[in-house]
């Protein structure tokens, strides 16, 4: 992975798959995320567990995209007392072999939404929709090298970060194959497909990024992408990601994403253009199949209300005559009721 900051290097070791000793920042966060989509059954889901040991709670989210546009969703903030394991709120993640094989299991409940956009008002959504017993069991196996790691100084010492403006000091991703099963009440869904996982650790506030676009996608075991655009308040962009082809990553040097929107400023379709370090060029088209809007709110130290919206869309992608599935995840700070990226 190329370094964005001069005088730094990126390091990654197998032990990074396991929880780290948290640093002193009150908002220290260690999180693991997984997604998977079945190209035959056209279902999928994503899962995140973020430990915040210094604040003594975790953030647990599961989101399942079901036939007919339905979504099953659950979010919890269970109490934790340490950062010793990734196991909270019914979601457990186990490392079988670092960088190669991980297991994910969930036992709990899920909110069943015929209209996922109702999650724009979470209290109303949880009041007016049924909650059913839910289990998830998935085996994830890597189909790619690792991308990313911890950015440190050339001598290996940690960077000096402002916890109030930080999103993570370390982050890595990997494309995966996955197999398993979802159950929801009396419904059961076998799943076999492809996805992407990531892990990050360090101080995190969701409001540390002005807006971003994150497009992980898979077209099969030998062809996949992750396209990323991150933008700060001054309008400076960091474009990146990677293309997986024949077992190797070709890093993205430059990319653009043009989106179509509905009346609520939720993405409905997109076109992306990618240029890699090897000189390859790709044009990708995407149509959102099913989308759920989520939010994160907190008060800034000066008392200002901060509101972050993240729209999570299961998306069909097309590139080079091949069709695949993945996510379109759009994060925006909301100011005066509108996403800052389109204001």
**308 inside domain:** yes
Residue 164 has pLDDT above 70, yes or no: no
**92 inside domain:** yes
Per residue in 46-86, pLDDT (tens digit) is 999 999 999 999 999 999 999 999 999 999 999 999 999 99
Which pLDDT value is given to residue 97? 98
Which pLDDT value is given to residue 304? 74
Range of the domain at 52: 19-150+161-339
Rounded CA gap, 310 and 290, in Å? 14
Which pLDDT value is given to residue 34? 98
Which pLDDT value is given to residue 229? 97
Rounded CA gap, 85 and 197, in Å? 17
Residue 296 has pLDDT above 90, yes or no: no
Which pLDDT value is given to residue 175? 98
Q: Tell which wins on pLDDT, 88 or 343.
A: 88
Mean pLDDT of 305-317: 93
**294 inside domain:** yes
Which pLDDT value is given to residue 160? 61
**220 inside domain:** yes
**142 inside domain:** yes
Per residue in 11-44, pLDDT (tens digit) is 999 999 999 999 888 889 999 999 999 999 999 9
* Residue 109 structure tokens: 């409940």
- Give the chain's domain count: 1
Task: Return the H-helix or E-strand segment holding 38.
Answer: strand 28-38
Mean per-residue pLDDT of the chain: 92
18: number of CA atoms within 13 Å, CB side? 8
Q: Tell which wins on pLDDT, 266 or 8.
A: 266
Q: How far is CA 189 from CA 63, 65, 103, 207, in A?
A: 14, 11, 18, 36
**81 inside domain:** yes
């Amino acid at each position: 992975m190329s370094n964005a900051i001069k005088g730094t290097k990126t390091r990654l070791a197998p032990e990074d798959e396991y929880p780290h000793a948290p640093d002193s920042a009150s908002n220290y966060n260690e999180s693991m995320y997984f997604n998977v989509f079945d190209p035959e059954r056209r279902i999928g889901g994503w899962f995140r567990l973020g430990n915040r040991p210094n604040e003594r709670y975790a953030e647990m989210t599961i989101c399942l995209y079901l036939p007919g546009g339905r979504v099953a969703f659950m979010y919890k903030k269970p109490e934790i007392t340490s950062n010793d394991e990734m196991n909270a709120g019914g979601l457990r993640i186990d490392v079988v072999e670092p960088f190669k094989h991980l297991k994910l299991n969930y036992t709990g409940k899920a909110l069943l939404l015929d209209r996922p956009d109702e999650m724009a008002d979470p209290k109303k959504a949880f009041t007016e929709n049924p909650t059913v017993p839910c289990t998830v069991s998935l085996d994830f196996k890597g189909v790619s090298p690792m991308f990313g790691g911890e950015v440190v100084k050339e001598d290996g010492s940690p960077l000096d970060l402002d916890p109030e403006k930080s999103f993570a000091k370390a982050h890595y991703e990997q494309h995966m194959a996955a197999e398993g099963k979802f159950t929801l009440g009396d419904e059961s869904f076998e799943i076999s497909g492809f996805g992407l996982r990531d892990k990050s650790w360090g101080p995190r506030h969701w409001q540390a990024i002005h807006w971003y676009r994150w497009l992980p996608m898979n077209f099969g075991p030998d062809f996949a992408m992750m396209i990323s655009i991150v933008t700060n308040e001054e309008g400076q962009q960091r474009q990146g990601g990677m293309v997986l082809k024949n077992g190797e990553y070709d890093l993205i040097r430059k990319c653009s994403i043009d989106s179509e929107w509905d009346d609520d400023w939720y993405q409905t379709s997109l076109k992306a253009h990618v240029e890699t370090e090897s000189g390859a060029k790709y044009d990708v088209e995407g149509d959102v199949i099913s989308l759920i809007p989520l939010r994160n709110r907190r008060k800034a130290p000066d008392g200002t209300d901060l509101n972050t919206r993240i729209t999570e869309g299961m998306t069909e992608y097309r590139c080079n005559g091949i069709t695949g599935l993945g996510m379109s995840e759009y994060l925006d700070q909301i100011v005066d009721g509108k996403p800052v990226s389109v204001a």
